[in-house]
Amino acid sequence: MEGSAKRPLFGKAAIIGVGLIGGSLALVMKKRGLVERITGIGRGMENLETALSLGIVDDITQDPAAGVEGADLVVVAVPVQTTADVVKRAAPGMGPGTIVTDVGSVKGAIADQVPPLLPDGALFVPAHPVAGTEKSGAEAAFPELFEGRLCVITPVEDTDRGALEKVKKLWQEAGMRVVEMDPLHHDRIFSAVSHLPHVAAYCLVNTVAGARDADPHLLDYSAGGFRDFTRIASSPPEMWTGICALNSRFILEMIERYEESLSKVKELLEKGDLAGLREEFERARAVKDSIT
């Protein structure tokens, strides 16, 4: 066995939510010999059985407390709004020294909600591996998902440094570049670069589809640009509802800024100020060069 020469990072790992992220991380842990055994925990038996038959996990259960029993590492990879509930149900199975981490796209609320739910001695490390596709479920999992991407760890004052280093190592083994950041700073940044774009795409697709009253065959004419939006807007609604709910303050602020930008374009167009309009478009085009 490839990983047998070095001592694994963890003995038993429990993954709550064996979807795209949880399942892909399990595959990484197996491939890199980071763990001896993985228990998959979830709500849906069908998805768990898929994960088991694909060799993503070694055993499965729908009972969080039983599943985390004896685990050195518990990864919570469920939609953010259900994280607290799942942790509460798993907590009775955790012991002192159990490292608990999550993968959610919102960090402020999670850093507040989770620690009080844990038993004494369990160590929480909030993390956000920035990766994903519009697909979901164990079937969509693949170990290369994280390669070359960014993982943000958002420690708080009493985060255990040893636990943090282990979680950091885990994501580095998955091929990620790991950075540390304050949870609210994270939430503000991601409300801009990720959460607003998803809300904008969902709304755009609904708006365009709503214009079918002008022509029932309207979407037959959809060209390149619109198809990109439909791809983003096919992201899992449950996941994005949770993200919006838990990061609503910053997301509302970003939607308002976006409305201001649209309103400005509308005004320029109503006034026929084409030089002003072009300036707006030029400004947006220049951004691409600044990020590549």
Q: Which of residues 112-171 bind its own copies (CB under 8 A)?
A: 130, 132-133, 150, 152
Q: Given candidates 53, 120, 214, 216, which one binds its own copies under the rule CB under 8 A?
A: 214
Q: Are 72 and 95 in contact (CB under 8 A)?
A: no
User: Exposed, middle or buried by CB within 10 Å (0-12, 13-18, 19+), for 148?
Assistant: exposed
The residue among 62 and 263 lying less far from its own copies, judged by its C-beta, is 263
Asked whether position 209 contacts its own copies by CB under 8 A, the answer is yes
The residue among 45 and 179 lying less far from its own copies, judged by its C-beta, is 179
Q: Given candidates 17, 25, 197, 216, which one binds its own copies under the rule CB under 8 A?
A: 197
Q: Are 111 and 85 in contact (CB under 8 A)?
A: no
Structural tokens at position 15: 């993954």
DSSP state of 191: I
The amino acid that residue 58 corresponds to is D
What residues numbered 167-196 form the site for its own copies, per CB under 8 A? 185, 188-190, 192-194, 196
- The C-alpha atoms of residue 37 and residue 229 are separated, in whole angstroms, by 40
Q: Are 126 and 155 in contact (CB under 8 A)?
A: yes
Q: Are 180 and 125 in contact (CB under 8 A)?
A: no
Q: Given candidates 116, 148, 162, 272, which one binds its own copies under the rule CB under 8 A?
A: 272
Asked whether position 277 contacts its own copies by CB under 8 A, the answer is yes
What residues numbered 233-252 form the site for its own copies, per CB under 8 A? 233-235, 237-238, 240-241, 244-245, 248, 251-252
Asked whether position 215 contacts its own copies by CB under 8 A, the answer is yes
Asked whether position 222 contacts its own copies by CB under 8 A, the answer is yes
Supply angle C-alpha 79, 46, 138, rounded to 5: 55
Residue 42: φ, ψ to 5°: -170, 175
Question: How many of the chain's residues bind its own copies (CB under 8 A)?
Answer: 86
Asked whether position 291 contacts its own copies by CB under 8 A, the answer is yes
Residue 78 Cβ vs its own copies, minimum distance, rounded to whole Å: 15
